[in-house]
Amino acid sequence: MSSTRRRRLGAATVATAAGITLALSAATPTATAVVVSAPAKASGPSTTAATDSASMRKAITPRGLRSHLEALETLGARYDGRATTTRGYDAAARYVEFELREAGYKPRRDYFTYEASEILAESLTINGEGEPTDVPILAMAYTNSTPEGGVTGDLVAPNDTTGCSAVSWDGVEVTDQVALISRGTCSFADKARFAGEAGAAGAVVYNNTEGDLNGTLGDAQIEGAAPVGGVTQEAGQQLLAAAEAGTPVTLDIRADYFEAESYNILAARNGDPENEILLGAHLDGVEGTTAVNDNGTGVAALLEVAKNMPKKSRNKVQFAFWGAEEVGLIGSTEYVNDLVEQEGRQLDNIATYLNFDMLGSPNHIIGVYDADESKFPASAPVTAGSIETEQMFRSYFRSQKQPVVDTEFSGRSDYQAFLQNGVAAGGLFTGADGVKTPYQVKLFGGTAGELYDPNYHTPTDNLENVAVGPLHTMADAVGHMAITLAKSTREIDSPNRAPERTVESGLAAEPRR
């Protein structure tokens, strides 16, 4: 169980791939000693800041990106991951802060509290003839709890296997039974909610690819949702056979909830504070993995861009490394909520928010968030400037003769709170648990019918399974957007946005430059 106090770790030494050894001090979050041996130019401060898109992209190298990934993997392996509130998260935060200070930034920690949980029980037993068979199951974050000792009932599947709507349970008798649902199509929260509304006493979601299923329902318990856990694809087939045979199971899923504290890391280059470009990537990962693709890749891209930014530009450029994304987008949401509550609607100073989450998937796409909703409906109303942000990304990729596809504003990453509060947003994504299509194979290579990242939220999300080539492609795009918008936001202000914005107080904002 985590304390709600700020964590202060004991000393730890971490060797990075660049030959830099960080002695992580327990005294303060800023006390970081550095011993350099066989230094390499893969990481560290740039001798000459980039002045335009071309020089920025020249400065971003696969070696530099890989250096950050190796450091984050080393820390994750040492501390068993970097889930928020853990020693691994704190160690990774100090690494990010060290890299930012080396590049001339003054990073700060933005603390917040949230509801965390401790799993009290997670067991599933098939009660067949003879000895009961235990099936490994992982309770999902923010699940409701069964009674102590669990619930016993038949396994019942929805009529469409995925259970993503009330219609999925039409004509299915699941009252007081255990729902058996396939992963895919919708969020785990929706699966648990619709199963609970149909009367299920509990729910089991089985994976649609190899590996464990370690899911989350968002950032809070859902009233009426079925207590739910995840099992492997193999276990799912075993349970489907038990359901076919009418063999009952006992599901025991229980959790305790309490207040915890974590933090974001923020660092900015000087510029017009009323015309800010905010770039973000979540720093935390799920438990039990070094979380290199999700989301060490986004962190690595931001660090490489940040260290090559000029010391000052026309517009303010701020980099955010979000905490507690994996337990419900909490760090970014708390940050937005704080800005909303501040006098003068400081949130309106953000010209656009750019989100970078999973940029090195092995069976990748080059995805740009679909702000014009030409292919996917968005998870929140699309704010003025979002379409222009998408167009700017697409224009850059066209200039590089790089094909792209739309990717959905699904509500599953840190752009969500910005969209919900009227801030333009965009970003890049190489895919997670979606399935690659034959058309996407023609554009990007890879294998049709397989997940973009079969290692998503599993112990094999490591450096060996990250595609550094796509990461470099994406990082170049991040750098292009950062340095171009630092000089002027005209491309995202027009033609679809009025030259002046009206803020919530009713005062007309200055035209953006």
Q: Helix (H, G, I), strand (E, B), or coil: what is residue 369?
A: strand
Instruction: Output b/e per residue, 440-457; b: 16+ Cβ within 10 A.
Output: bbeebebeeeebbbbbbb
Residue listed under structure tokens 């785990």? 188
Which one is catalytic: 122, 261, 325, 390? 325
Strands 425-429 and 350-356, by their bridges, are: parallel
Indicate the residue type of 368.
V
In sign, the C-alpha dihedral spanning 474, 479, 482, 485 is negative
Name every residue whose Cβ is closer than 8 Å to that of residue 199 and which is 6 or more positions away in sequence: 174, 175, 176, 177
> Is residue 234 within 8 Å of residue 101, measured between CB atoms?
no
Task: Identify whether 325 is a catalytic site residue.
Answer: yes
Q: Helix (H, G, I), strand (E, B), or coil: what is residue 315?
A: strand
Q: Helix (H, G, I), strand (E, B), or coil: what is residue 347?
A: helix
Q: Distances in Å between the alpha carbon of 93 and those of 82, 84, 377?
A: 9, 10, 35
Name every residue whose Cβ is closer than 8 Å to that of residue 255 and which is 6 or more positions away in sequence: 117, 118, 119, 120, 139, 142, 143, 145
Name every residue whose Cβ is closer than 8 Å to that of residue 42 and which is 6 or more positions away in sequence: 17, 18, 61, 63, 64, 66, 67
What residues are labeled active site? 325
